[in-house]
Chain A
Amino acid sequence: MKRRNFLKLAGAGGILLPVSGIAVSAEQLASNGMDAGDKKTLADIVLNTARKAGASYTDVRIGRYLNQFLLTRETNVENIVNTESFGVGIRVIAGGTWGFAATNDVTPDGVARAARQAVAVARANSKHQREPVQLAPVEGVGEASWRTPIRKNALEVPISEKVDYLMHVNDSALKAGASFVNSSLYLVNEQKYFASSDGSYIDQDVHRLWAPMQVTAVDKKTGVFKTRDGLSTPVGLGYEYLDGREEDKIPGQTTLYGDSYDMAEDAVLAAEQAKAKLSAKSIDPGKYDLVLEPLHLRLTIHESVGHPLELDRVLGYEANYAGTSFATLDKWRSGKFQYGSERVNFFADRTQRGSLGAVGYDDEGVKAKHWDLVKDGILVNYQATRDQVHMIDQKESHGCSYADSWSSVQFQRMPNVSLAPGEEKYSVEDMIGDVEKGIYILGRGSYSIDQQRYNFQFGGQLFYEIRDGEIVGQVEDVAYQSNTQEFWNSCSAICDESDYRLGGTFFDGKGQPSQVSAVSHGCATSRFDNINVINTKRKLS
Chain B
Amino acid sequence: MAILSRSEAKQILDKVLKFSKAEGASAQLTGAETGNIRYARNSVSTSGIVNDIELAVEARFGKKSGIATINEFSDAALEKVMRRAEELAKLSPDNPESMPLLGKQKYKSVDAFAKSTAGITPDQRAKAAADSIIAAREKKVVAAGYLEDARSFAAVANSNGLFGYHAATSANFTVTMRTENGLGSGWAQSDVTDFAAMSTGSVSSTAVDKAVLSQEARALEPGKYTVILEPAAVSGLVGFMMWNYDARSADEGRSFMSKKGGGSRIGEKMFDKRVHLYSDPADLNVPAQPWSEDDHMALERVDWIKDGVVENLPRSRYWASQSDDKAIPTPSNLIMVGGDKSTEELIKKTRRGVLVTRTWYIRMVDPQSLLLTGLTRDGTFYIENGEIKYPIKNFRFNESPVIMLNNIEDMGRAERVGMYGFSAMIPALKVRDFTFSSLSDAV
- A221 to B258: give the CA distance in the assembly, Å: 12
Given that A14-B295, A455-B375 are contacting pairs, would A319 and B67 also be in contact in the complex, using a CB cutoff of 8 Å? no
Given that A12-B316, A13-B98 are contacting pairs, would A452 and B441 also be in contact in the complex, using a CB cutoff of 8 Å? yes
Chain A min CB distance to B433 (Å): 12
Q: Indicate with 1 or 0, residue by residue over B321-352, a CB within 8 angstroms of chain A CB atoms.
A: 00000000000000000000000000000000
Chain A min CB distance to B347 (Å): 25
Q: Name the A residues within 8 Å of B182 (CB-CB).
A: 328
Q: Does A100 contact B (CB under 8 A)?
A: yes
Given that A12-B316, A76-B95 are contacting pairs, would A317 and B45 also be in contact in the complex, using a CB cutoff of 8 Å? yes
Chain A min CB distance to B48 (Å): 7
Q: Kindly name the residue among A76, A129, A222 whose own CB sees the greatest number of chain B CB atoms within 10 A.
A: A76
Given that A319-B40, A319-B144 are contacting pairs, would A534 and B398 also be in contact in the complex, using a CB cutoff of 8 Å? yes
Contact, CB under 8 Å: B361 / A450:
yes
Q: Does A517 contact B (CB under 8 A)?
A: no
Chain B min CB distance to A148 (Å): 27
Q: Does B165 contact A (CB under 8 A)?
A: no
Q: Which of B82-104 contact A (CB under 8 A)?
A: 84-85, 87-88, 91-93, 95-99
Contact, CB under 8 Å: B374 / A17:
no
Contact, CB under 8 Å: B373 / A457:
yes
Q: Which of B31-56 contact A (CB under 8 A)?
A: 36, 38, 40-41, 43-48, 50, 52, 54, 56
- A446 to B252: give the CA distance in the assembly, Å: 22
Contact, CB under 8 Å: B70 / A448:
no
Given that A216-B254, A316-B142, A479-B365 are contacting pairs, would A513 and B375 also be in contact in the complex, using a CB cutoff of 8 Å? no
Q: Does B176 contact A (CB under 8 A)?
A: yes
Contact, CB under 8 Å: A15 / B67:
yes
Chain B, residue nearest A28 (CB): B84
Report the interface size class on chain B.
35 or more
Q: Name the A residues within 8 Å of B394 (CB-CB).
A: 450, 455
With beta carbons under 8 angstroms apart, the residue of B176, B365, B396 that contacts A320 is B176
Q: Indicate with 1 or 0, residue by residue over B171-200, a CB within 8 angstroms of chain A CB atoms.
A: 000111010001000010000000000000
- A224 to B369: give the CA distance in the assembly, Å: 10
Interface of A, secondary structure class, is loop
Contact, CB under 8 Å: B361 / A449:
yes
With beta carbons under 8 angstroms apart, the residue of B87, B96, B256, B361 that contacts A448 is B361
Q: Name the A residues within 8 Å of B92 (CB-CB).
A: 77, 80
Q: Does B366 contact A (CB under 8 A)?
A: yes
Chain B, residue nearest A303 (CB): B361
Interface-located stretch among B110-118, B226-234, B399-407: B399-407
Q: Does A541 contact B (CB under 8 A)?
A: yes
Interface-located stretch among B10-18, B259-267, B277-285, B423-431: B259-267
Q: Indicate with 1 or 0, residue by residue over B146-188, a CB within 8 angstroms of chain A CB atoms.
A: 1010000000000000000000000000111010001000010
Q: Name the A residues within 8 Å of B402 (CB-CB).
A: 540
- A532 to B256: give the CA distance in the assembly, Å: 27
Q: Name the A residues within 8 Å of B373 (CB-CB).
A: 446, 448, 457, 479
Q: Name the A residues within 8 Å of B48 (CB-CB).
A: 100, 409
Contact, CB under 8 Å: B365 / A536:
yes
Q: Name the A residues within 8 Å of B121 (CB-CB).
A: none
- A443 to B318: give the CA distance in the assembly, Å: 34
Q: Indicate with 1 or 0, residue by residue over A70-83, a CB within 8 angstroms of chain B CB atoms.
A: 00000111101100
Q: Does A349 contact B (CB under 8 A)?
A: no
Given that A15-B28, A128-B43 are contacting pairs, would A538 and B366 also be in contact in the complex, using a CB cutoff of 8 Å? yes
Q: Indicate with 1 or 0, residue by residue over B49-80, a CB within 8 angstroms of chain A CB atoms.
A: 01010101010000000011111000000000
Known: A220-B262, A319-B40; 11 extra A-B contacts, CB below 8 A, are A22-B68, A25-B87, A76-B95, A124-B122, A179-B254, A224-B368, A225-B253, A317-B144, A513-B36, A532-B438, A538-B366
Q: 19 A–B contact pairs at CB < 8 A? A: A14-B293, A22-B68, A100-B46, A100-B48, A125-B47, A225-B368, A227-B367, A320-B176, A448-B363, A450-B396, A453-B442, A454-B442, A455-B396, A455-B439, A455-B442, A457-B365, A534-B398, A540-B369, A540-B402
